[in-house]
Structure 1
Amino acid sequence: MTAEPHPLDEPVDLSNCDREPIHLLGTVQPFGFLVAVSMDWLIQHVSANIGDYLDVSPDHLPGEPLSAIFPTAAIHSIRGRLQVIASHDGSERLFGCDLLGKNTFFDIAVHVSGASIIIEAEPTDTTQTVNPGALVKSMIARIQKTGDLTQLFRESVRQLRGITGFDRVMLYRFAESGSGEVIAESVRSGREPFLGLNYPATDIPRQARQLYIRNQTRIIADVGATPVPIVPASDPYGQPIDLSLSVLRSVSPIHIEYLRNMGVAASFSISVVIDGKLWGLFALHHYAPRQLSMELRAATELFGQMVALIIEGRIYKERRTTEEAVRQLHDRLIGKIVATTNSMEALADFSDELREIIACDGLVVWSKGEAHGSGRAPTADELPGLARFLNRAAASRVYASSELAAVYPPAADFADRGAGVLAIPISRSPRDYILFFRQELVSTVKWAGDPKAAKEMKIGPNGPRLTPRKSFEAWQETVRGRSRAWTDSDLKAAEALRVSILEILLRFNEETERQQSLATQRQELLIAELNHRVRNILSLIRAIVTQSKPGANTVDGFARIIGGRIQALARAHDQITSDNAAATRLADVITTEVSAYIANKASRVRLSGPDVFVEAKTFSTLALVFHELVTNSAKYGALSDSSGSIDVTWSIDADEACAIAWREHGGPPVQPPSRRGFGSTIIERSIPHDLHGEARVRYALGGLEADFLLPPTVFHLDRTARRREPDILDAIEALPRTEAPSLAGTNALLVEDNMLISLDAEQMLAGCGMEQVFMAASVAEARKILAEERIDFALLDVNLGSETSFPLVANLNERRIPFVFATGYGEQIDLPRGAEHIRTIKKPFSTDQLLAAVQEALAR
């Protein structure tokens, strides 16, 4: 194997100090010595000062067995400590060891580095022993009595200063940016306090942070001491020894200069590692050289680990309390959303609840390119650009920034409303978001020296280099463009919201698809039924014309009878299909169908049962079923001749369902149908499909038998008084017989796209005395007539095929011409502005209805 370039061959200065190999410097501090041996205990390296402790020459030791310098008992003790090392990333201590067998006692640290075993020894005073367990127990007992984290931090530094004797002990906490703040301090009287000062991230290079995690205590006993080299400097392959876990490892020249610039002569650090990350440091400074025994350093290391656990526990407890409260708010919010919301836009209605879960100054739901929100937030014009910026982030991740302008410069324009943003993506295409905004929080940061000050250039051993900063005087900086930081709890709450909202939207989409599928099926059913019923209606009208003929003595009387019966049929249809209808007696629903279609045979249908009131939305289903039963009976069953009859009975069964029985008697013999028509499908499947009931049909020889079961959810037995429409037969017999009043001398405009209906309406108006009726089939024709003729009244069909008659409202209002709408739509129509209170009559309308509408309009 060829030798590789030595890592120390690269010049090091502040411009590349993040790459300085501080664990490969090849030197140790002089307050102890080092021996590196192979796995078979042959000496590989020694520190050049070993002769100061063992009276041997360092140049002759490499390659010799360890037994050449240490007695067997000492080697046995070292082997024993090596056995208990949990991994190659740990180290063990041996205190008060008679290393030379001459009552010369040393503290020993041992660890494994690559293929070497590193043994480090420091002279110890056995008359001043430390009981680490008792010491740490006493210190932790005081720590645990503190009330909050601030008191805990303060007590920790006080305890450390008490047992170490250092002039200054600080607890230094790292921020996400890498900079740090002194959050607690205990300092000797007369020294300038550093509490509250911030230090830039560049003061501690990245590789130093990693070593602080691996090797959690670091002593620099004398800043002015001369480092001791390792002999030989590298192994046979040209590689220096890795001293990452060494307790004697020497210090980077740059760091030594940094400490000198601060006036520090000795330092000691204890890492605070939480969840595998460097949370902070206990930084101890002394203004004269100071050495702590290895045993005391081990005790402080244990103290640091215990304090880290206590801090982690308290932080976790506070976070858990916060997250539990947020989880309860989250669960209540999701329950409300599931119960009331069916779109992303409607999430803005819950802005107050969302802002309780994640504290913010403003909230916006950005959906389909539109903003819905509340509080202090960017404007509708500023949001599209921000949405495009967020679209570049991952679709399935929460995005958070407390300094948005640093990554999205246009955000500087709305920093007072949204310096920080937390974005929860709630869809993929188009990308929609719930956006939480926090406004700019102007703050003053006190730095230990100006972090932006230029470094001094100096000529050193390797040429020009930047020197460490020399000024540590308090320097204040006003920070703008930043909001209060988003915490881990905020991010967890946001992620929980993202998952829950996506689940809700997925459920909404699935429900929407299901409803669309049901609607499609129902639409197909209704289209087929429409075709089926249109033919029946045409047949029915022909039958009405035929049956009305014998009772008429004049043409006008004949027309009046036919019109009255058709109008009664329309009223019955409105009663059955109206969405706003109140609950109606089951007997009335059946009677309406019987009366409308077989009025001359209605007496042959006998009804019997309690006062069952069916809900309005069941009318159409029941009407369809009984319509088919009635028409089938009239064609093929008991009502097809002059002798048959039908019994319809209903009762409430043990399960509180309404059982309906249809029994036909006395008609021709019944034969099962040779093919299954749409009418049979309606009878057998409508009630189970639409009402979740049951239906059974039997083609008995003596007459058709049908049984239906209505569930309790679609009817009730309430006898509350209500207004009832008269049945069909009553309506026909009660038609008005008064003569139409005269409208002599008036002109009417009739806007209707169907010629036959236009002629019928023209005849009605002319019969009431209208002088002239002008007909138009479009808005353009109507406007031409309005411009050329005198018009006193207008009848407007709502739907003109390719357009509506609504544009004529403005023309008529401008000329103060009264008008009435006519429509074939059964549901309520939305009238345009200017026509909110205009009367609407439904097609087909009678002369009396039209005349009443004209008179009301003219009077108005």
Structure 2
Amino acid sequence: MTPLDTQTFETLLANCADEPIRFPGAIQPHGLLLTLSEPDLHIQQISANVENLFGLAPAALLDQPLATLTGPQASAIVEQAAQFAGQVDVPPLELTLQGIAYEGLLHRDNGLLILELELKPDQAELVGTMAKIRNLSRVLQSLQAAKTLPALYDICVKEIQALTGYDRVLIYRFQEEGHGQVIAEASSPSMELFKGMFFPASDIPEQARELYRTHWLRIIPNADYTPVELVPRLRPDTQQPLDLSGATLRSVSPIHCQYMKNMGVLSSMSISLMDGDRLWGLISCGHRTPLHVPHELRMACQTISQVLSLQISALQTLEISRQREAKMDALVRLNSAMVQGPENVFDGLAQEHALLMDLTQASGVAILEDNVLHRYGQCPKPEQIRELYQWFKQNDAPVFSTHNLSTLFAPAADYKDIASGLLAMSLPKPVDNGVLWFRTEVKESIPWSGDPRKPLNLESSETGLRLSPRTSFELWKVEMDGISIKWSHGDLFAANDLRRSALENDLARQVRREQQAVRARDELVAVVSHDLRNPMTIISMLCGMMQKTFSSDGSHASRRITTAIDTMQQASSRMNILLEDLLDTSKIEAGRYTISAQSLDVTQIFEEALSLLMPLASEKQVELTFHAEPDLQIHADPERLFQVLSNLISNAIKFTPADGKIVVAAMSNGDDIVFSVRDSGKGIPAEQLPHIFDRYWTAKEGNASGTGLGLYISQGIIKAHGGQLLAESTPGEGSEFRFTVPKIS
């Protein structure tokens, strides 16, 4: 084709895909269709063949009562049945019109009742139909007794051919790639055989598949028909085409009718096979001459397809369970190897590389952990594996599989002979990591029904170029390269389960490492605190002795030495406080902070705090007052509670200017005692308030003399008591700290 022809072909192909197959505006001529308004049952649309069948002009029947066409008795039957329209397994209506027996089918579409009429089989045909249907129970039992999928398919095609008399009955299964394969067949001796052959995806366009998914059955008694138009073509109420998706008489695409003729059949019936909500495949029936299958037989075939669908799902589920069960021993052993891996889970897998390959029947496996790459069996080169890993990681799929890698990742064409199949998994870690299984290329000759590259033909017509279906269905073998054996459900399950185990083991290792780090830090803090506390105590004592020695000497040198000794004592005291704070902080972070609670009198606690802190408040000329409700008893650790009060009050004194006020209060509130320390200091800026309980907050606040751990430890102490420590502050007005402690009732 020239570029222009190619463009035209693509345009026509798109138009074909968009063909309004749900809204053809016409029906097949082997019946009559009309739409009715409710509840009055007035005719809104009717097929034009009413004139041939009943001698009535279509236009004259529009907006007339149904009885005008059918008579009052048949109209009453339709009216009574209308309430059940749309329900499953509703038998057809038996209607007699102008002395002729018809079967009526009812369904609804967007507020319209749709009535379809087909001729009722004559007595001889009816007797034969009922005789066949009596065997339905036996057929269903045979299907349910089948132990394997091939046996199930074989029973189905043979029984449906026996029921219907079609020359050919196929089971056609859709593949993941979109095309389909004939997996079972029952055909008359003179028919061309298609079992095992593949058909292009374009043979059944996507919108046709959607109709198969939502409606179980479609029949074409004679592909060489002239469509019968609806009158009027559009719905009178909406001026939109009538949706005929649920209509048995729906006219089909002329391209499909030509496709049937090219295939050598004039009549067909297609029945859906479902796996849950997914279209799994079709039962496709064809006959060389026109053939109309009665409604009752169609429903029997539909029942067979529904049972077959359930059986397929059940047997597939059993097969998947069997595949998974077969992997369990290997997965248990690999999990044990990951647990025992010296450095990480991937080290453990590397020690069991043969078992890892057997797990998925791979021809090669690569194990990647940061800069370490292990390769076993047939694998691409290291740089190729790392490039492949980066591509796989970009797909953001924890487990990925393909049996045709080079079509997805072009550089893989260079090593398709050893890695046409890829199954890979990785863990969410900051370093490159993962397991990549490879399968070698398998040269395969796939039998197609006709050339898959030419599913449609482009031909000239009186109106210009048009598409026509392919005319050749002869065996066409295509040599496939760059493909491997497909990964099974069991392989995918194994990869996912291995990843889950690896993730659990990796997280457990991280937790253990963090616990070891915490223990090491605690031990270090304890050793440092112990080893430093004794020297600091000795330094403090020696400073005191030296101070007494030099205080009696009033020389200038002695005064300088005394000042230096004071500085040393202050530094030593601050070091001891810091050591205590570090110990408390370590315990809080490790969740091992404990208290020794006992019954305490709040008034006594306040008296002790007043005697200790009043000199400090008086020195700054700050008014310090304590108020407590009488007879308050609490359950708390006296030393720790005093530590909290001392820290809060000392901070308040530190940041409250001269002539300021600090009020310490305690009051009952339900099962708790609420303590508050309120000052009239400069307050805490709003942007700093959320951080005041952080470790080393004084660095943010600008108080270089504090350790930055006081409020953090105070909060830990109150939490250990089962209470809360909160703060409120207004810059320029002051701050209030409140905490709760359980009271004794």
Same fold (TM over 0.5): yes
Q: 1:459-515 CA deviation, whole Å, 9 max, x = no partner?
A: 336531232111111010111101122233433332333233222211211111111
Q: Does 1:483 align with 2:484?
A: yes
Q: Which residue of 1 aligns with 2:121?
A: 125
Q: Which residue of 1 aligns with 2:21?
A: 22
Contact conserved, 1:369 with 1:384, CA < 8 A, in 2? Answer: no
Rounded to whole Å, the distance in 1 between the matches of 2:88 and 2:44 is: 19
Q: Which residue of 2 aligns with 1:362?
A: 364
Aligned to 2:91, the other structure's residue is in SS state strand
Rounded to whole Å, the distance in 2 between the matches of 1:72 and 1:490 is: 65
Distance 1:254 1:47, change over 3 A: same
Rounded to whole Å, the distance in 2 between the matches of 1:336 and 1:408 is: 32
Aligned to 1:250, the other structure's residue is in SS state coil
Contact conserved, 2:345 with 2:505, CA < 8 A, in 1? Answer: no
Aligned residue identity for 1:165: G
Rounded to whole Å, the distance in 2 between the matches of 1:309 and 1:281 is: 14
Distance 1:240 1:678, change over 3 A: closer
TM-score norm. by structure 1 comes to 0.58
Q: Which residue of 2 aligns with 1:197?
A: 197
Rounded to whole Å, the distance in 2 between the matches of 1:78 and 1:363 is: 68
Q: How big is the shift at 1:371? A: 1.5
Q: Which residue of 2 aligns with 1:33?
A: 32
Aligned to 1:517, the other structure's residue is in SS state helix
Larger relative contact order (CA 8 Å, sep ≥ 6) = 2
Aligned residue identity for 1:451: P
Rounded to whole Å, the distance in 2 between the matches of 1:118 and 1:294 is: 17
Deviates more, 1:248-257 or 1:236-245: 236-245
Aligned residue identity for 2:43: I
Q: Which residue of 2 aligns with 1:179?
A: 179
Distance 1:462 1:249, change over 3 A: farther
Aligned residue identity for 1:44: Q
Contact conserved, 1:92 with 1:109, CA < 8 A, in 2? Answer: no
Q: Which residue of 2 aligns with 1:280?
A: 281
Q: Among all aligned residue pairs of Structure 1 and Structure 2, give the percentage whose two residues are the same amino acid.
A: 31
Contact conserved, 1:185 with 1:195, CA < 8 A, in 2? Answer: yes
Q: How big is the shift at 1:106? A: 1.5
Distance 1:73 1:511, change over 3 A: farther
Q: Does 1:412 align with 2:417?
A: no
Rounded to whole Å, the distance in 1 between the matches of 2:425 and 2:109 is: 47
Q: Which residue of 1 aligns with 2:150?
A: 150
Aligned residue identity for 1:119: L
Q: Which residue of 2 aligns with 1:104?
A: 100
Q: Which residue of 1 aligns with 2:231?
A: 231
Distance 1:73 1:330, change over 3 A: farther
Contact conserved, 2:455 with 2:469, CA < 8 A, in 1? Answer: no
Distance 1:499 1:81, change over 3 A: farther
Rounded to whole Å, the distance in 2 between the matches of 1:310 and 1:409 is: 40
Aligned residue identity for 1:345: F
Aligned residue identity for 1:350: E
Q: How big is the shift at 1:331? A: 4.1
Distance 1:34 1:138, change over 3 A: same
Rounded to whole Å, the distance in 2 between the matches of 1:519 and 1:234 is: 82
Rounded to whole Å, the distance in 2 between the matches of 1:679 and 1:36 is: 91
Rounded to whole Å, the distance in 1 between the matches of 2:93 and 2:66 is: 19
Rounded to whole Å, the distance in 1 between the matches of 2:327 and 2:212 is: 35
Contact conserved, 1:107 with 1:295, CA < 8 A, in 2? Answer: no
Contact conserved, 1:169 with 1:284, CA < 8 A, in 2? Answer: yes
Q: Which residue of 1 aligns with 2:599?
A: none
Rounded to whole Å, the distance in 2 between the matches of 1:679 and 1:523 is: 12
Q: Which residue of 1 aligns with 2:379?
A: 377
Q: Which residue of 1 aligns with 2:424?
A: 423
1:740-819 alignment, distance < 5 Å: none
1:352-751 alignment, distance < 5 Å: 352-394=354-396, 397-453=398-454, 455-460=456-461, 462-526=463-527
Rounded to whole Å, the distance in 1 between the matches of 2:381 and 2:534 is: 56
Rounded to whole Å, the distance in 2 between the matches of 1:12 and 1:227 is: 26
Q: How big is the shift at 1:201? A: 0.4
Contact conserved, 2:273 with 2:305, CA < 8 A, in 1? Answer: yes
Q: Which residue of 2 aligns with 1:294?
A: 295
Contact conserved, 1:36 with 1:43, CA < 8 A, in 2? Answer: yes
Distance 1:109 1:492, change over 3 A: farther
Aligned residue identity for 1:53: L
Q: How big is the shift at 1:70? A: 2.7
Aligned to 2:394, the other structure's residue is in SS state coil
Contact conserved, 1:365 with 1:434, CA < 8 A, in 2? Answer: yes
Contact conserved, 1:23 with 1:242, CA < 8 A, in 2? Answer: yes
Rounded to whole Å, the distance in 1 between the matches of 2:280 and 2:42 is: 40
Rounded to whole Å, the distance in 2 between the matches of 1:508 and 1:231 is: 75
Aligned residue identity for 2:242: I
Rounded to whole Å, the distance in 1 between the matches of 2:404 and 2:229 is: 47
Rounded to whole Å, the distance in 2 between the matches of 1:314 and 1:447 is: 28
Contact conserved, 1:266 with 1:286, CA < 8 A, in 2? Answer: yes
Distance 1:241 1:454, change over 3 A: closer
Q: Which residue of 1 aligns with 2:722?
A: none
Q: How big is the shift at 1:243? A: 0.5
Distance 1:331 1:462, change over 3 A: farther
Contact conserved, 2:84 with 2:90, CA < 8 A, in 1? Answer: no
Aligned to 1:162, the other structure's residue is in SS state helix
Rounded to whole Å, the distance in 1 between the matches of 2:89 and 2:228 is: 23
Deviates more, 1:130-139 or 1:175-184: 130-139
Contact conserved, 2:529 with 2:579, CA < 8 A, in 1? Answer: no
Q: How big is the shift at 1:12? A: 8.7
Aligned to 1:306, the other structure's residue is in SS state helix
Q: How big is the shift at 1:72? A: 4.3
Aligned to 2:508, the other structure's residue is in SS state helix
Q: How big is the shift at 1:390? A: 1.3
Rounded to whole Å, the distance in 1 between the matches of 2:460 and 2:81 is: 47
Q: How big is the shift at 1:221? A: 0.7
1:159-174 alignment, distance < 5 Å: 159-174=159-174
Q: Which residue of 1 aligns with 2:693?
A: none
Contact conserved, 1:81 with 1:93, CA < 8 A, in 2? Answer: no
Contact conserved, 1:96 with 1:126, CA < 8 A, in 2? Answer: no
Distance 1:454 1:235, change over 3 A: closer
Aligned to 2:469, the other structure's residue is in SS state coil
Contact conserved, 2:202 with 2:455, CA < 8 A, in 1? Answer: no
Rounded to whole Å, the distance in 2 between the matches of 1:84 and 1:257 is: 37
Distance 1:265 1:350, change over 3 A: same
Q: Name structure 2 gaps, 5 residues minimum.
A: 1-9, 537-574, 581-591, 593-745
Distance 1:177 1:167, change over 3 A: same
Q: How many residues align?
A: 538
Distance 1:151 1:168, change over 3 A: same
Rounded to whole Å, the distance in 2 between the matches of 1:507 and 1:342 is: 13
Rounded to whole Å, the distance in 2 between the matches of 1:438 and 1:274 is: 29
Q: Which residue of 2 aligns with 1:249?
A: 250
Instruction: Supply the RMSD in Å over aligned alpha carbons.
Output: 3.5
Deviates more, 1:125-134 or 1:405-414: 125-134
Q: How big is the shift at 1:202? A: 0.8
Contact conserved, 2:267 with 2:288, CA < 8 A, in 1? Answer: yes
Aligned residue identity for 1:192: E
Aligned residue identity for 1:171: I
Rounded to whole Å, the distance in 1 between the matches of 2:355 and 2:82 is: 58
Distance 1:520 1:323, change over 3 A: same
Q: Which residue of 2 aligns with 1:596?
A: none
Q: How big is the shift at 1:260? A: 1.6
Contact conserved, 1:91 with 1:109, CA < 8 A, in 2? Answer: no
